[in-house]
Each structure stands twice: as C-alpha cells, then as structure tokens.
Amino acid sequence: MLAYKKTPPELWSGRTSEQKLYLHEKVHCGTIDEIEIAENQKTIVLLGYACDEGVKRNQGRIGAVNGPDTIRQSLGKFPNHLEDDFQFIDCGTILCPEGKMEQAQEDLSQTIAQLLSLNTFPIVLGGGHDIAFGHYQGIKKHLGNKKIGIINFDAHFDLRLNTPGNTSGTPFYQIAQECQKEGAVFNYMCLGVRRDANDKTLFETADSLNVKYLETAHFNMHYLEHVQLILMQFIEDVDHVYTTLDLDGFSSAYAPGVSAPSPMGFAPNIVLESLRVIMDSKKLISLDIAEMNPTYDSDGQTAKLAASLVHYVMHHK
C-alpha cells in the first residue's frame, strides 16, 4: 500500500490578492487520483519525497525528510506569472515509514509513471538524493526503450557501489547497473563535481561508465559557452532528459541547509543558464530537487533558493 500524505492547503500561504497574484492562490491541493486534465492543458504537478533514510545510511546529516514541505512554504509566497489556463497541482508526498527506503523509491516510481501518463510535468521535492533512483525508474516505466539522458547538478557523482546497501550516494550506480542488465546505454552527465568531495575510485567508476562531467572549476559563468556546448551535445544524443538538482552542489554561501555543505560549490547563475538550455531543447520530461535540509538552513535561504529554482522552471517550461 502506498505510504502517502495529501498536502493540507493551509501549508500554502502568503500575501493575498483577488487576481491570484501569488502561487499559494494558484495551487490546487489534491490526491494523485483526483487529477483531471483537459486536452492539451499544460499542467505542472508537485510531488514530495519525504525520505532521508538514504542520507542516514550514507553517514550524512539527517533532516531532509522535512525538505518538501519547507520548499512548499517558501514557494507559496512567490509571484504567479502562469497563464490562467495553466494548472498547478500539489498532489502530496511519498513517505518512508520505518526506514523502508526501497519501498519509498518504488512508490515514487509508480507515481511518476502515473503522472507522466496523464501528460503532466512532475517536479519532485526531496528528500535525499536516493530520490533519483525511484524517479528515473518511473520515467523508464513510462518511456520504455526511449533514450533517457540524466543531467545531475551536484558536487558528488553519487556512483558509490551499492554492495553494502543502497544509500543516497548510490542512485546513479544503481541506474548504471540496470542499464547494463538491459543492454542500454547509461547516459549520465554530472555538472559541478568537486575533487574534494569524491575519492579517486569514484572518478575511476565515472570514467569506466563513460560518465560526462564538468568539475566546479569549469562550471561557472566564465566558461558559459563551453557549458552550453557540452549540454547541447549531450541532449542531442538522447530522446528525453531527466534533470536532478542536488542543493549540496551549490556553495554553502547560497545553500547552507543541505546534508553535505561546502563553501566550494557552484553559484545559482550558471545553473539557471544551464536549465535554460535544457528547457529550450523541449526534451525535459521531469525534474527533482534533492537534499533540502531545513534543520541547518539559515533564514530560510536554502528553501528560497530551491523555491526560486522551481519557480524558474515552472515559468519557462
């Protein structure tokens, strides 16, 4: 049985108007089964993934279980520039009772496949980066044999071997293993990788799996044209793109409220420019934000960053 909770409408709040000027006035809270979409109607659906069991197993700072609702609370105060006929739905949150992360990932997978079958654009709010395995599996269920490109904005490859067990550090290795079993190509790009956050065996694993990556030194506005070029080349070779944004990839100057913070991360501007390239390709099928940890946030700064990223994607989709 799906471990799930509906979002209470009162979680969304902010300034009030008579013209739905703010997102808390635009959003509709309902269950997954209540979603109704008119033909050709654009619909963005928010889904939470309240799980940091993978972070705990990976020896990180727990607290990301509260990430989804914290992002919602921040996002509700943002202005609404969506057209009147554009639907914005919050369909609740996948839960992870008793540390059953693999079940939560399966629940997420089934839900994503269902949302995509309804022709919606899902944005998933985490939660640890174990979100990526369940999210990808759901996209795969929906697309079948189509080529899926994964673009991960992250300080970490998250390619740790899962021999000791699955964690928030293993999702892309798990996906690579699934691709190998199916004889499919593992199309994975990681932007913002740091040498001080990945040991040499992870770089070796990335190279052996033909992972495309840019280290932080070359993932900034000084190298914008190069970043744009490698993104366009990567996207050209796939049918659809799944994008995942790990907030711990940002410098802690922008994102202190994460599971693994560092001042040496990247800045928001290069991420926004990269997202524009991805969205302009018209191949972006789904997106998530991982590692929002309100326990360590300062003045809601990380929540505002996460909400700003969601707001940007919503209004450029």
Binding residue ranges: 129, 154, 156, 158, 246, 248
Rounded-to-integer distance, Cα 51 and Cα 29, Å:
21
Rounded-to-integer distance, Cα 169 and Cα 202, Å:
11
Q: Which residues are annotated as a binding site for Mn(2+)?
A: 129, 154, 156, 158, 246, 248
Residue whose entry in the numeric block shows the structure tokens 């991805």 = 278
Chain-centre distance of CA 110, in angstroms? 17
Residues comprising the chain, all counted: 317
* Cα–Cα nearest to 125, from 61, 71, 206, 178: 71
Residue whose entry in the numeric block shows the structure tokens 């673009």 = 151
Collapse the DSSP code of 205 into the 3-class scheme (helix H, G, I; strand E, B; otherwise coil) and give the result: helix
User: Which helix (H) or strand (E) element contains residue 182?
Assistant: helix 171-182
**Residues sharing a CB contact under 8 Å with residue 101, sequence separation 6 or more, in sequence order:** 51, 53, 54, 57, 130, 166
Residue whose entry in the numeric block shows the structure tokens 């197993």 = 57
Q: Is the peptide bond before 257 cis (omega within 30 degrees of 0)?
A: no
**Distance between the two ends of the chain, CA-based, in angstroms?**
33
Rounded-to-integer distance, Cα 75 and Cα 96, Å:
23
User: Which helix (H) or strand (E) element contains residue 313?
Assistant: helix 301-314
